Amino acid sequence: MCGRFYFKSNKDKLSHQFSVENAVGTRTNYNVTPSSKCTVVRLNPDNKEFANLTWGLVPSWAKPDNKIKPINAKAETVREKPCFRNAFNKHRCIIPVSGFYEWQGSKGDKRPYAIYPLNDDYFGLAGLWEKREDLQTFTIITTEANEVMRSVHHRMPVILDTKNYDVWLEEGDYALMKPCASEEMGLTGYT
């Protein structure tokens, strides 16, 4: 599960890591929550672009009063579930994050953990996006946890290797829907 993340805005580093030229209004936020506007990387007809979308996927076919807005999609079912199938086939995106949070413990005594990249400025999380009228939304794809994450949670976001960004956006290679190498991640617990 990925329900909160943080994002340190740096247009030069974003443009460099994700090979995107266009500038987009990004801002640093250490507590990005569902329904927040967030920067994603997606394909437009000509090339890659940054876009600001709302976190919580609303399928293009959903009714205007739709209350279901999934923030995560399981990699294991993303190709079959009606809510995600169209987006998986046509609207893949990458969500740049500086790190994400998970909590462990019992209710009232939960301890937060920050998970962050060790070798890049950002994680590139695999995601899906949709457009319904003037609303553009996205969801983050999750998979089983790697060794680092297992100590905190049984699932984690799909973190793409930088060399696979274009493959994900252009082809949606399902083989990329797996945990990243543990050596790519740092983990810090807070009291």
Active site residue 147: no
Question: What is the Cα–Cα distance from 172 to 179, expressed in whole angstroms?
Answer: 16
* CA 145, chain centre distance (Å): 15
For tokens 């995560």, the residue is 72
What are the φ/ψ torsions at residue 60 (nearest 5 degrees)? -60, -25
Q: Which of 83, 93, 102, 130 is catalytic?
A: 102
Q: Which amino acid is at 75?
A: A
Question: What is the Cα–Cα distance from 129 to 137, expressed in whole angstroms?
Answer: 6
What are the φ/ψ torsions at residue 111 (nearest 5 degrees)? -110, 125
Active site residue 2: yes
Q: Which of 2, 38, 93, 180 is catalytic?
A: 2
Q: Which residues are the active-site residues?
A: 2, 102
